[in-house]
Structure 1
Amino acid sequence: MSALNSNNWDRRTVLRAAMGLAATGGLAACGGNTGRSEGGASGKSLTQYFHAYGEAGTQEAIKRYAKDFDGANVATQWITGDNFESKLFSSLLTKNAPDVFEFHPQLQLIRSGQVADLSDLVNPVKDDFNPADIKSHTIDGKIWGVRMIDDPQFFYYRKSMLEKAGVEVPQTLDELVEAAAKLTTDKVKGLFIGNDMVQTQYPLVWSSGADQLTADNQIAYHTDAVAETLSKYRTMFKAGHLLTGAPADSWDPSALIQGLCAIQWSGMWAMPALQKALGDDLGIFPYPVAADGAKPSVFNGGWSMFVNAKGKNVDLAKEYVKWLWIDQKEHQEDWALSYGFHVPPRQSIAETADKLKSGLPAEGVKFFNEYGRFENPSWTQAMITAFEELIADVVRKGVEPEKALDTADAKVNRELKKLFG
């Protein structure tokens, strides 16, 4: 259910407008009923925004939950396409802005006054949430969003393909590079890390022994080890060992299922579909160690619910968020486990999630607990875009890593200066 957006230009320009970084106007919200007409038993209405999840039944589930809420008529905007972020943020500039929306905790949302403080909703049950989720959503001592699902991401592989090629499960990045070479044939690519190759941008840094930012919000990713890792991506790309033209991106399990690649980066949400298609011919491993002294890593994506602090119905929107994502444990469990696999953020739900207690799902949870890393709220959309462009420059265009890192540094430092002075 989670994917990094590759529509860099749309997102960059719109987000700068939305965050007050450029004086551009907003686009109209995408089609469908805005939910602004009065309705429901209470005569009140709310609108919620969701990106289009790939798993069958998700849209119907979200609408079913909303229908159960007696406090208002809740309309759902189901945003299709690869530019959910740009459509969301452009809509926040208009009178048709959603009352509640899913996104990730990011500092610029708070600094711009875009999201409401939800501490009063979460504090009474804070101890039941994964502590890492609470930490990632807490800024200036306040909790700004409610985590709905945790989405660990790692590598899936076809056991039969590795066995046939005489390849062991990679424990280091060098071994992954070697595996990609051995597994590549005239019909199969060894490795799929997304058509734009940016989906692993977080663990690329973490498993190289670095981080996006330091504790005092300075650049931490610009290291020799990260530069070397980027060079290895370039090596695999030039050699033709990376799948880059898949019909669907890495969030979708179809590339591995169809035999287009032997190893694929994706999320735990894809596990049920992969198990159904491949049975026992399926294994997983975390992003491997890329530098001496570093550790494997698992990127935890996930999605959270936020309240539009500039909306017309803030109190009612908070009431709805509390009702659905705090009080309705049955809906929360359904959302986490019935449409793909996700780790429930609520520990009381995770402890009773039988579907995750054995086999490959249990192994995924184990990797999540041992190696899971969360996004830094200070690492904003503009910084994400800068790092995506860095990867494209090095891997596709052959720009020297140090030069590309310097270019990214300039962009990231501009954003850091805006946020922190």
Structure 2
Amino acid sequence: MPALSSSNWDRRSILRAAAGLAAAGTLAACGSNNGRGGGSGSGKNLAQMFHAYGEAGTEQAVKRYAAAYKGAHVTTQWITGSNFESKLFASLLTKNAPDVFEFHPQYQLIKSGQVADLTDLIEPVKDDFNQADIASHTVDGKIYGIRMIDDPQFFFYRKSMLEKANIEPPTTLDELIEAAAKLTTDKVKGVFLGNDLHAVIQPLFYSAGADTLTDDNKIAYHTDGVVEGLKQLRKLFTSGDLLLDAPADYWDPSALNQGLCAIQFCGMWAMPQFQQTLGDDLGVMPFPKVGAAGKPSVYNGGWSVFVNAKSANVDAAKEYVKWLWIDQKKYQEDWALSYGFHIPPRTSIARSATKLKSGLPAEGVKLFDEYGHFDRIGWTQAMITATENVFADCVRKNGDPEAALDKCDKTVNAELKKLFG
């Protein structure tokens, strides 16, 4: 989401956190404040947990929605800091666990019985959701969690810089590397992929014609195209044309806005800030094609709401979640479009959203519709870390991509065996 400052955490680590990650011991950050004290509400007391979005107005919006609900007294735990996922999962192990929380679809949550089946809430409006969002939350025909926002990620670029260098927006990774060289000066780097490069791992897979996992939960990323892409990124990393160690990471628009680079990988959440600073001197493009079997890609992040199946108030929590994230379309649209730009998962809301109907936002929606890829529910943090190690071994260092992927395969297969047998 937009307006994240350098004091906020790396978005990637939050967007891809593991459901199995739980901090040992008690949760110091939440302490004895379980979010259920005080207040003027009647009926059941419910607590919901959100991570601290970086842009102004988000905390107030979440609390405003909750205050409008008459069926229970709903309080909000707004978790700041760099490790929301560990605080959430530590809290879920205690009596102070939230009744409702935001996270991402993860198979471990379902397998452990941590999240409630919400099929009965979603079924009547199932056809009004992006069907890829429905699929990413479904296991054995049951739907767990309701998508709140979709966050497509792609490249933003300065049109004037590309025009001055006589460059068209790159359509292949080779062209991106060539463009980065032509755009780099003594003051500006050609391209920014984020400080740790983690944001472009899955886009690389997708653009090489691969994936993280197959539909039947087998390895899908270890292909010749991915190997080729890793070698190309190593070339870019050592070229001197890649911005490294920027003051803020990829999720923050400051690298492009401050003229540190000509092309930046980021998310649609930052589009209003880019436009405010750069006006019409701004274009968007997908992650370019990698290799002969590839195709441009747009990775979709986002957040979903879940009901804690181990709560003492499951039914009341489900009623609240239905009221807010199924029935209250005005709040759903407000959440998606008033604090940065996100694509509403409800297709009826997305179609009527005037802010997404023209100009650059409409281009972003078109790229998302044409090239979008969604997370696999079986893709765990251990698997994510293993692919990050691949990038460390053969992009940051000069390791052999095949050997790095072979090592990664061992970790991923062990995880798959634990999850699926």
Same-fold status (TM-score > 0.5): yes
Partner secondary structure for residue 160 of structure 2: helix
Partner secondary structure for residue 151 of structure 1: strand
Aligned counterparts, 1:179-258, within 5 A: 179-258=179-258
Please give the alpha-carbon distance, in whole angstroms, between the structure 1 residues aligned to 2:240 and 2:75.
Answer: 46
Q: Which amino acid aligns with 1:5?
A: R
**Cα contact 1:29–1:96 (8 A) shared by 2:** no
Please give the alpha-carbon distance, in whole angstroms, between the structure 1 residues aligned to 2:397 and 2:186.
Answer: 24
Please give the alpha-carbon distance, in whole angstroms, between the structure 2 residues aligned to 1:266 and 1:32.
Answer: 37
Partner secondary structure for residue 101 of structure 1: strand
C-alpha displacement of 1:16: 4.5
- Tell me what 1:327 maps to: 327
The normalised TM-score by structure 2 is 0.93
- Tell me what 1:21 maps to: none
- Tell me what 1:347 maps to: 347
C-alpha displacement of 1:240: 2.4
Please give the alpha-carbon distance, in whole angstroms, between the structure 2 residues aligned to 1:78 and 1:172.
Answer: 41
Structure 1's unaligned 5+ residue stretches are 19-23
**Cα contact 1:158–1:281 (8 A) shared by 2:** yes
Q: How many residues align?
A: 414
Partner secondary structure for residue 277 of structure 1: helix
**In the alignment, does 2:20 pair up with 1:15?**
yes
Q: Please list the CA deviations of residues 311-350 of structure 1 after superposition, one character each: whole Å capped at 9, or x if unmatched.
A: 2221111111111100111100111111111111111111
Aligned counterparts, 1:13-412, within 5 A: 15-17=20-22, 24-25=24-25, 27-30=27-30, 33-37=33-37, 39-412=39-412
C-alpha displacement of 1:391: 1.4
Q: Which amino acid aligns with 2:76?
A: T
Q: Please list the CA deviations of residues 205-233 of structure 1 after superposition, one character each: whole Å capped at 9, or x if unmatched.
A: 01101111122211111112111111221
Q: Please list the CA deviations of residues 372-417 of structure 1 after superposition, one character each: whole Å capped at 9, or x if unmatched.
A: 1111101122211221222122222322211211121111111101
Please give the alpha-carbon distance, in whole angstroms, between the structure 1 residues aligned to 2:214 and 2:176.
Answer: 28
The normalised TM-score by structure 1 is 0.93
C-alpha displacement of 1:292: 0.8
**Cα contact 2:14–2:84 (8 A) shared by 1:** no
Q: Which amino acid aligns with 1:261?
A: C
Q: Which amino acid aligns with 1:400?
A: D
**Cα contact 2:284–2:364 (8 A) shared by 1:** yes
Q: Please list the CA deviations of residues 67-104 of structure 1 after superposition, one character each: whole Å capped at 9, or x if unmatched.
A: 11112222222222332222222222222222111111
Please give the alpha-carbon distance, in whole angstroms, between the structure 1 residues aligned to 2:380 and 2:112.
Answer: 13
**Cα contact 1:48–1:101 (8 A) shared by 2:** yes
Please give the alpha-carbon distance, in whole angstroms, between the structure 2 residues aligned to 1:92 and 1:189.
Answer: 44
User: Which of 1, 5, 12 matches 1:5?
Assistant: 12
C-alpha displacement of 1:254: 1.1
**Cα contact 1:274–1:282 (8 A) shared by 2:** yes
Q: Which amino acid aligns with 1:265?
A: F
Please give the alpha-carbon distance, in whole angstroms, between the structure 1 residues aligned to 2:14 and 2:392.
Answer: 13
Partner secondary structure for residue 199 of structure 2: coil
Alpha carbon RMSD of aligned pairs, Å?
A: 2.1
